[in-house]
A = this chain, B = another copy of it.
Amino acid sequence: MGDIANQPAIAASTPRQNHLLAALPPKEWDRLQAYMELRPMPLGHVLYESGSTMRHVYFPTTAIVSLLYVMEDGASAEIAIVGNEGIVGISLFMGGETTPSRAVVQSAGQAYRVPGSFLKQEFFRAGPLQRLLLRYTQALITQMAQTAVCNRHHTVEQQLCRWLLMSIDRLPSNELTMTQELIANMLGVRREGVTESAGKLQKLGLISYNRGHIVVLDREALEAHACECYAVVKMEFDRLLPITMAQ
């Protein structure tokens, strides 16, 4: 549709599409810029494996990355989701270097890559970058906490609504490319459960989907259908990271 109009040329990302990068003051920004490298993020690409040492951090612009925990028996569950509002690889500056979870590209796009050692060095200047990253980390913590609550108390249908909303919030349009099987992996439920819930949402006219292509038709109704978890996390992100500057 209007995608081409919205994204001139082949939509080469600009760093400022990432909200964290956009919020940096000029001086911090200048130092960082030299080390940034734009990288393609194909669907399914694994940025970090569980327990592996991280060498880079990533600032997504158009890509969406899922933080996923994979259990011994192969079952999985999404811990959090990171798009152009955030950064992948917080454990680098938090001090642990690794995490027990996996970072995998959930929606193809692009991200800026920065060497971990350099970001760490910048982080410990204890300036605006540090404050920004810490605030983001707190927002991420809220998201994880709410995921725990949601997993405990809410139905698959509610969780699907939340997940769809969180995803399109991180994309330029109201469409996303994602099979029901993949969504099931993220939510940690059966594929059939997603089929059923998605079918229900389609019948209600909230979404339409077709072979891995999902369009959100009625965003407001979808919000009404979701559990409170979506709103709680969104409000907390807006509160902690009000710097929703030039996209």
User: Could you list which residues of chain A lie within 8 angstroms of chain B, going by C-beta atoms?
Assistant: 67, 69, 71-72, 75, 77, 79-80, 90-91, 93-96, 99-101, 124, 126, 130-131, 134-135, 137-142, 144-149, 151-153, 188, 228, 232, 236, 239-240
A88 → chain B closest CB, angstroms: 14
Q: Which residue of B lies closest to A72 (CB)?
A: B228
A174 → chain B closest CB, angstroms: 27
A172 → chain B closest CB, angstroms: 28
Which residue from B77, B90, B140, B153 sits with its C-beta under 8 Å from A148?
A: B77
29 A-B contact pairs sorted by A residue (CB < 8 Å)? A69-B146, A69-B148, A71-B149, A71-B228, A77-B148, A77-B153, A79-B145, A79-B148, A80-B145, A90-B138, A91-B138, A93-B134, A94-B135, A94-B137, A94-B138, A95-B134, A96-B135, A99-B138, A100-B145, A124-B126, A137-B137, A137-B141, A144-B144, A147-B148, A148-B148, A148-B151, A149-B151, A151-B151, A152-B188
Q: Which residues of B contact A96 (CB under 8 A)?
A: 135, 138-139, 236, 239-240
What's the number of copies of this chain in the assembled complex?
A: 2
A148 touches B144 (CB 8 A): yes
Q: Which residues of B contact A142 (CB under 8 A)?
A: 99-100
Which residue from B126, B140, B145 sits with its C-beta under 8 Å from A101?
A: B145
B188 touches A69 (CB 8 A): no
B95 touches A188 (CB 8 A): no
A149 and B72 alpha carbons, distance in the complex (Å): 12
Task: Known A-B contacts: A99-B145, A100-B142. Give 13 more (CB < 8 A).
Answer: A72-B228, A75-B153, A77-B148, A91-B138, A94-B137, A95-B134, A99-B138, A100-B146, A100-B236, A126-B126, A144-B148, A148-B148, A151-B151
